[in-house]
Structure 1
Amino acid sequence: MAFKSHNYTLLPQGESEPLTASRQRTKWNWKRILHFTIPGILVLVLVLFLSISQAIKGSKDPQVFPHPDTTACPQFPAIESLSDDRKKLETEVRDKIGSDDFFNESLKRMQGAVQIPTESFDDMGKVGEDPRWDVFIEFHDYLKKTFPLVYSKLEFTPINTYGILLEWKGKDESLKPYLFMAHQDVVPVLKVTESRWKYPPYSAHYDGRYIWGRGATDCKNNLIGVLEAFEILLEKDFTPGRSILAGFGFDEEISGPQGAQFIAKHLEDTRGKDSIELIVDEGGLGIQVVDGATFALPGLGEKGYFDVRITVETSGGHSSVPPDHTGIGILSQVISAVEAEPYEPELTPANPYFTTLQCSAEYAPDMDSWLRKTIKKSLKSKKAAKSVADYIAKKNVFQRYLMQTSQATDLISGGVKINALPEKVYAVINHRIAVESHVDDIRSKLRTLVESKILKKFSMSLDAWGDVSGNTSSSAVGQIILEDFDMPLEPSPVSPFDTDAYKTFTGTIKQVMGEDIIVAPSLMTGNTDTKFYWGLTPNIYRFSPMREEGRANAHTVDERVGMKEHIEAVKFYAQLILNGDGS
């Protein structure tokens, strides 16, 4: 049977009708088309089939990262005010903060704050019982005297006596508030180190460039900077579109159990969960030049925290007739076994540092070409990601621990007399948990390690968090106990970097500190007071708005902060408040 297709008439196979020249050309052209088209179609179908198969395989292949088809380092533009009135106010505020008078006033405010030794100690008792908290009375009096408009116009709520919560009510109650955080306390200065300071640690000496003193950069500069921004805007009779909160704990350096924990609970009780739009706290790596580009590096996440106590109990006895291995010896072997099996560096998209590296590969002109290429490959290749992790871990110990769980034996105790075998000895191992891991992973590894490396050598029992194994009979040499030393903390949720809050936050960084700055999400190896605030917002950004050259030696001798950089930080805080309502 013949059928028509366009202008061509095709005859059934075996057709014997003579062909005209025109029909011969038609038949020849169609054969030619089929000759070239059919293979092409088959190739196209094959390519599509392989692509779909690879996509399905890739979603299951452990060597492939699923990654969205978006830029690996999203950047958002500097914010530009829309209204003339707002532009005028911004200019006035910027000029005020940039004036010589403000510089001199700010210098005095910072010096006064640093000169009050608001130290917190690991063994502090409860507020109201331990007299060492009394220094915060002096500090509060200083703040009230130094920032009269803040304390007269804003709602001040003392939390657990020394916690500070300030509320600046906005015009639009439907908008969730911004919360600015800092802490009032500082790490103690050991007496034996005082002579090593260039200037006395609580003198707040200004050398024309830096203020020297404990707390200058951790983090009384943040606290004073936030209050200075508040005071300036209040002077201008500014009312924010959304409410603005400030929450200042007083025991962050000892994990915040009486300060930030109480403030966070108060906010959840009075406002509810997910009631805050944006939190900015200390932290991050500030602003740094890396491989030829300037980066702002806010911390979008924090590693977890877990201290494990390892106790070895034996029968003891006289040292003149010791066993081959005393309790101290067995404990030493446990510690040695732990240190012989460190955690491996791992780099995955779950880690904000993964994005830091992608930003560096995208924007840093001086990066090594092999590293740049391999970082970009790591977007979809676990093998490439592992190569990057191993390379960086060997080059830089700090960056290594952005990618892996750390373990450090920091405490050890045992023995009371030289001729007596100790019946009980213990050590404590501190872990900072990688974002891909969990507390239970640490427990499991330690238990397995003790069972496989120690119990095979010593006839002992193991009590690992209440689960007993090994030799539990009367013939046992003793027992090993694994237990929590204090409350563990899982790695924090990772804050998003595509929300309106993030766009405003990063747009303000570029607006104040330079449009050429690349904002690269990063990770905190330590923990801040924000660990109590996870229920209030997903948008938690740990960022001290300071350039690298403007701060030094937090927690150690010769801590200092640059006044030029401090002034820039005040501009950032003020501008973020102004940008909060999008005018």
Structure 2
Amino acid sequence: MSLKKLNYTLLPQSEADPQPTPRRSRCSWASRRACQWASVAILVAVITAALVATRKPQDRDNHWSPAVSAPACPQYPALKPLSSGLEKDIEKLIGSDEYFKKSTKLMQGAVQVPTESFDDMGKVGEDERWDIFEDFHAYLADAFPLVWSKLEITKVNTWGLLIEWKGKDDSLKPYLFMGHQDVVPVLPATESRWKYPPYSAHYDGRFVWGRGASDCKNVVIGVLEAFETLLEKDFTPQRTIMAGFGFDEEISGPQGAQFIARHLEDIKGKDSFELILDEGGLGITELNGAMFALPGLGEKGYFDVRIVVETEGGHSSVPPDHTGIGILSHIVSAIEANPYEPDLTPVNPYFTTLQCAAEYGTDMDPWLRNNIQKAITSKKAAKSVADFMANQDVHLRYLMQTSQATDIVSGGVKINALPEKVYAVVNHRIAVENRVADIQKNMQSVIKKTILEKFSLTLDAWGTLSGNTSASALGKITLENFDEPLEPSPVSPFDSEAYKTFAGTIKQIFGADIVVAPSLMTGNTDTKFYWNLSKNIYRFSPTRNEGRANAHTVDERVGMKEHLEGVRLYIQLILNGDL
């Protein structure tokens, strides 16, 4: 395909007694949103004041700031449509068979373009593997003609897409919808294991199958469908609406989202967006007998440490008691024998997830429910909950604990030669209560206590020498950054107007009984580059869990019924953002 009628700018590369299950409050709200917000104003004011005064998830220097009177799981009402002709028309349109078929074809077409990104990708303009994004851009321009002809399209570092839909009121901060165009590669050795070929985008009447279907071309296509649908209705938003789609999120975004974020800060300034919504979170899922929406309000940090062991070489026929590889093995063993401990504090959004589960989860074990509720004022109860949850599921453990995993080992070049230099790389995902400096201090302490007392070695930990620094040292251990570390993200508020609109829209689309509970992401999205642009950053893929499967692995797929719910959420959030 060829690009047609593009109006884009090309930028340079460059635990206690059982408690009764709480009753859910129910209320009949007026159809007009202004009346709705007036009805709930007093409740919201009380919640907000209590939250701000007693529990500030953003304050990492005060991890334990227990609330006495604040709601443990504040909920905001489902927003009600204004019953306008536009909203009725859109609801009818999206519910039609014709729209369903069209949406399915749009998803299929996107999945069929294999926009894979690889860890060893070179720079844009130099590595030909980036060229596939030209095909993807051509597809998008053809699939969404109104977006490409009526909105301002900026290409950032060639393949990054930034779309701006000018609003009527410049005093309103824009909304920014995010997603990424790239997908993880399909290993040739796994292709035969797929039920349908990974880039066939086969539709079986329920799911579209293929790489990227649920991570995250469903998000990119969903946002663009929302834009195109509203443009077809001649809608112009009050506030400016933007979309930013990187192209290398699966390899940490250095050439995509980083460039887009830098460009946005240059043209819009810091703290210039009212709300940023990216992929992520745990979607819509059941917890303890209730349905929850679990947007990610924060992300763990990321830190890779390279451990280098240098020793004297020689012939393997006369080896020392411990070779460099042997010493490195001792170090890795010591690290694994000294894991971080799970902890649960109010600074962690998962603390609020559990509070919501305890309040609304009808099937929760009474012991667990009572301890979660006691954890609001008791560190001991919180620790009991953390230890219990950590023993139930490794995924839950690492919502409360810094992880450490040795993922790379290198050393030795010849079977009869003692290795002179070997290294390992340990990946850390840092809990929100910790910092990069804490990880450095802990690793240095573990090595001093377990290795230096056993081996006569020098330790160079990020430029600080210790251990045996004399000429008699048998060798040297160096601790250094493997790549640029990332601190845990700021935790977005759940009492801001942007969050209230976002949470209310989720309930409006997915059901008023949905519990919207702040949660935490153990991984990172492209939002790591956007912290300067808004305090209201939420990571949420609007898909019920039964409607997506196998991201990053064989038989990835997305349910089209669930995908259309996501389109409706994007549309409604744009409409609700005007009020």
TM-score between the two structures when normalised by the length of structure 1: 0.88
- For residues 5-44 of structure 1, what are the structure 2 equivalents within 5 Å? none
- Between the aligned partners of 1:377 and 1:323, the Cα distance in structure 2 is 56
Shift of residue 69 of structure 1?
1.9
Q: What is residue 81 of structure 2 aligned with on the other side?
A: 81
Q: CA deviation at 1:65?
A: 4.6
**1:198, distance to aligned residue in structure 2 (A):** 1.1
State the distance in 2 between where 1:131 and 1:310 align: 34
Amino acid at match of 1:334: I
User: Are 2:64 and 2:346, in contact at CA under 8 Å, matched by a contact in 1?
Assistant: no
Q: Which of 150, 153, 158 matches 2:150?
A: 153
Indicate the residue corresponding to 2:491 in structure 1.
494
* 8 Å CA contact 1:307, 1:428 repeated in 2: yes
1:504 aligns with 2:505: no
1:578 and 2:569 are equivalent in the alignment: no
> How many residues end up aligned between the 2 structures?
519
- Can you give the 5+ residue segments of structure 2 that lack an aligned partner in the other structure? 1-53, 55-61
Structure 1 residue aligned with 2:448: 451
Please name the residue that 1:72 is paired with.
72
Partner Cα separation in structure 1 for residue 63 and residue 557 of structure 2: 46
Which is worse superposed, 68-77 or 459-468? 68-77
The match for 1:95 is 92
Letter in 2 for 1:324: D
8 Å contact from structure 2 (residues 63, 347) kept in 1: no
Q: Deviations over 1:173-205 (max 9, x none)?
A: 000000000000000111111111111111111
Task: Verify: 1:309 aligned to 2:306, yes or no.
Answer: yes
Residue aligned with 1:318, SS: coil
Matched, 1:390 2:387: yes
Q: In structure 2, give the amino acid aligned to 1:315.
A: E
1:259/1:475 CA distance change after superposition, 3 Å: same
**1:319-364 C-alpha deviation (Å, 9 max, x unpaired):** 0000000000000000000000000000000000000000000001
Q: Is 1:538 paired with 2:531?
A: no
Aligned partner letter, 1:508: T
Find the aligned partners of 1:339 and 1:484 in 2 and give their Cα distance.
19
Superposition deviation, residue 388 in structure 1: 0.2
SS in 2 for 1:420: coil
The correspondence of residues 167-566 of structure 1 with structure 2, limited to 5 A, is: 167-566=164-563
Letter in 1 for 2:173: K
Post-superposition shift, 1:560? 0.6
- In structure 2, relative to structure 1, the CA distance for the partners of 1:68 and 1:142 (3 Å cut) is farther
Per-residue deviation, 1:63: 12
- Structure 2 distance, partners of 1:76, 1:118, is 39
Distance verdict in 2 for CA 1:241–1:68, change over 3 Å: farther
Between the aligned partners of 1:373 and 1:475, the Cα distance in structure 2 is: 59
3-state DSSP of counterpart to 1:407 = strand
- CA shift, 1:265, in A, is 0.5
Residue 249 (structure 1) shift: 0.2
Contact 1:163 1:259 (C-alpha < 8 Å) held by counterparts: yes
1:371-428 Cα deviation digits (max 9, x unpaired): 0000000000000000000000001110110000000000000001111110000000
CA distance in 2, matches of 1:159, 1:63: 39
Aligned counterparts, 1:130-169, within 5 A: 130-169=127-166
**Which residue of structure 2 lines up, in the alignment, with residue 109 of structure 1?**
106
CA contact (8 A) 2:66 2:377 kept: yes
Structure 1 contact 63–382 (Cα < 8 Å) conserved:
no
Distance 1:546 1:414 in 2: 45
1:301 alignment partner, SS class: strand
In 2, Cα distance between the equivalents of 1:403 and 1:435? 8
- Paired with 1:428 and 1:400, the residues of 2 have a C-alpha distance of 22
Contact 2:303–2:430 under 8 Å retained in 1: yes
In the alignment, is the contact (CA less than 8 A) between 1:63 and 1:381 conserved in 2?
no
Query: Counterpart in 2 of 1:14?
Result: none
CA distance in 1 between partners of 2:138 and 2:284 (Å): 33
Distance in 2 of aligned mates of 1:128 and 1:536: 28
Aligned residue number for residue 11 of structure 2: none
% identical equivalent positions? 73
Shift of 1:475: 1.2
Counterpart secondary structure, 2:452 = coil
Q: Provide the rounded CA distance (Å) in 1 between the counterparts of 2:420 and 2:205.
A: 59
Q: Which whole-Å CA distance do the structure 1 matches of 2:197 and 2:463 have between them?
A: 50
RMSD: 1.2
Deviation at 1:251, TM superposition (A): 0.3
Q: How far 1:66 moved relative to its partner?
A: 2.6
SS of 1:205's equivalent in the other structure is coil
Secondary structure of 2:176's counterpart equals strand
| Aligned 8 A contact 2:64 2:347 in 1 | no
Structure 1 pair 480–439 and aligned structure 2 pair: CA distance change class (3 A): same
Alpha carbons 1:169, 1:243 under 8 Å: kept: yes
Partner amino acid, structure 2, of 1:105: K
Contact 2:63 2:345 in 1 (8 A): no
The offset of 1:64, in angstroms, is 7.2
What is the CA–CA distance in structure 1 between the aligned matches of 2:198 and 2:210, rounded to whole Å? 4
CA distance in 2, matches of 1:68, 1:202: 54
8 Å contact 1:65–1:381 — kept in the other structure? no
Maintained 8 Å contact 1:64/1:381: no
In 2, Cα distance between the equivalents of 1:289 and 1:63?
29
User: 1: CA distance between counterparts of 2:303 and 2:395?
Assistant: 19
Aligned-partner Cα distance in 1 for 2:550–2:449: 42
Using the TM superposition, give the Cα deviation of residue 538 of structure 1 relative to its aligned residue in structure 2, in angstroms.
0.4
Report the secondary structure of 1:483's partner residue. strand
Q: What CA distance in whole angstroms lies between the structure 2 residues aligned with 1:332 and 1:77?
A: 55
> Does the aligned pair in 1 maintain the 2:63–2:433 contact within 8 Å?
no
Secondary structure of the structure 2 residue equivalent to 1:311: strand
8 Å contact from structure 1 (residues 63, 383) kept in 2:
no
Q: Deviations over 1:444-489 (max 9, x none)?
A: 0011111111011111100000111111222111000000000000
Q: Is the Cα–Cα contact under 8 Å of residues 307 and 478 in structure 2 kept in the other structure?
A: yes
Q: Which residue is 1:29 aligned to?
A: none
SS of the residue corresponding to residue 428 of structure 1 reads strand
CA deviations on 1:141-168 (whole Å, 9 max, x unpaired) are: 0000000000000000000000000000
TM-score (norm 2): 0.89
Do 1:65 and 1:382's aligned partners in 2 also have CA atoms closer than 8 Å?
A: no
* Partner Cα distance (1:217, 1:429) in 2: 29
Paired residues of 2:311 and 2:419 also in contact (CA < 8 A)? yes
